[in-house]
Structure 1
Amino acid sequence: MESSNRLFRFPKPAWLNSPNTRTAGFSLGFFFFLDAAVFSKSILNGSDVHINFVDWIPLICSALGMLVINSIEKSRLSADSFSYSGDGVAWKAKTVLFLGFALLAGGLAGSVCVLVLKYLVQDLETGTMWMGVANVLGNGLVMLSSVVLWVSQNMEDDYTYNLQL
């Protein structure tokens, strides 16, 4: 039976609720970055460019953003209706959610900056360039998995999802 108050026409995909799917982006993101970090210190890396702490900062920001975003429940976002009465849970939850998304966006933007400033400007060879591309790819996958995980955990049972932020 179709519900008339649904936002989207199609129901949520079944693969979205799979625990393997929800963690795939996160684990693949860290795998790509750790692969680049190991390659950086291996003998196959023929350049003097290595992954150091500056390369790790964007991934740390993305991981912290993922933790912050997934610690917020969707029900907390509409706990009070913009009134000054009550305990003000909704605006606090929205502020923390914004900070989590800002950490994710900052991690992705930071990895793009590291790619451009450290790897593209110096015109390095393709093998060394992979370290910067893996950083961007890892942060993008952590961001994508964070959004998929938050949406799938906070979907209601009857496939309705109200976009009330």
Structure 2
Amino acid sequence: MALPRSSYDPRRVCLNPFPEFTLGKHRRTVGVYLAGALFALANWAFIDAAILSAHAKAPYGSPPTVEAPVHVTFVDWIPGICSLLGYLVINLIDKDRVRGDEGFGDSRAVWRARLFLFIGFALMAGGLAGSVTVLVLKYILNGYAEQFLYYGYANVSQSVALMLSAIVLWISQSTSSEYEYNLTL
């Protein structure tokens, strides 16, 4: 099925354009604050689990000399680091360059920006996959008590919240601001 000639733009990569949301007068500000709240919540959840792990005691009913069976180690930090690097990569990209709107002289610049965006999303997806892997292999399969499963759940929730924060920030920065004027001749 071919697109009608009036809808076809040879510069487009995808058939669907970037979404345009109308969230009111202060849509950009609300999006940026929501993304910041998701970012803070993501990192707070994991740091909470790491601090809780450092002070963890053995499960209830165990002898007092027994130590906690599992702690948050560097393996638990790796998925969060990958997700955070992906978050930074995605938000460092110029949105107009990815769209190809500004008429950049170098046609390879759009391709490089899209490749850079793909690498950022791949880092975030790798962080999410890594956090699920750590949850399953380290916490669930070993049959730890519910209080220790929280460490794995916090790791997964950090990756998901960072991914949502990046998407919300991308969309909110793509919307036009109240104080932005488009002057065309």
For Structure 1 versus Structure 2, the TM-score category normalised by the shorter chain is 0.7 to 0.9
Deviation at 1:154, TM superposition (A): 1.7
Corresponding residue to 1:144 among 157, 164, 170? 164
Identity of aligned residues (%): 43
Matches within 5 A, 1:1-165: 11-12=22-23, 14=26, 17-18=29-30, 19-44=32-57, 46=59, 47-79=68-100, 86-157=106-177
* Matched residue type, 2:88: L
Deviation at 1:11, TM superposition (A): 1.9
* Equivalent residues of 1:22, 1:149 under 8 A apart: yes
CA 1:32–1:7: 2 relative to 1, 3 Å: closer
* Equivalent residues of 1:108, 1:139 under 8 A apart: yes
Deviation at 1:31, TM superposition (A): 0.4
- Measured against aligned partners, the alpha-carbon deviations of 1:37-92 in whole angstroms (never above 9, x if no partner) come to 01111044542211111000000000000000001121001338xxxx83511000
* Equivalent residues of 1:32, 1:138 under 8 A apart: yes
* Equivalent residues of 2:39, 2:165 under 8 A apart: yes
Query: Matched residues in 2 for 1:115 and 1:44: separation?
Result: 20
CA 1:91–1:118: 2 relative to 1, 3 Å: same
Larger radius of gyration: 2
Query: Matched residues in 2 for 1:75 and 1:23: separation?
Result: 22
Query: Matched residues in 2 for 1:153 and 1:60: separation?
Result: 24
Query: Matched residues in 1 for 2:21 and 2:84: separation?
Result: 31
After the TM superposition, which segments of 4 or more aligned residues of structure 1 sit over 4 Å from their partners?
6-10, 13-16
User: Which residue of the partner structure matches residue 163 of structure 1?
Assistant: none
C-alpha RMSD over aligned residues: 2.4
CA 1:153–1:7: 2 relative to 1, 3 Å: closer
Runs of 5+ unmatched residues, structure 1 = 1-5, 159-165
Query: Matched residues in 2 for 1:155 and 1:52: separation?
Result: 40
User: TM-score normalized by structure 1?
Assistant: 0.81
Give aligned pairs, total.
149
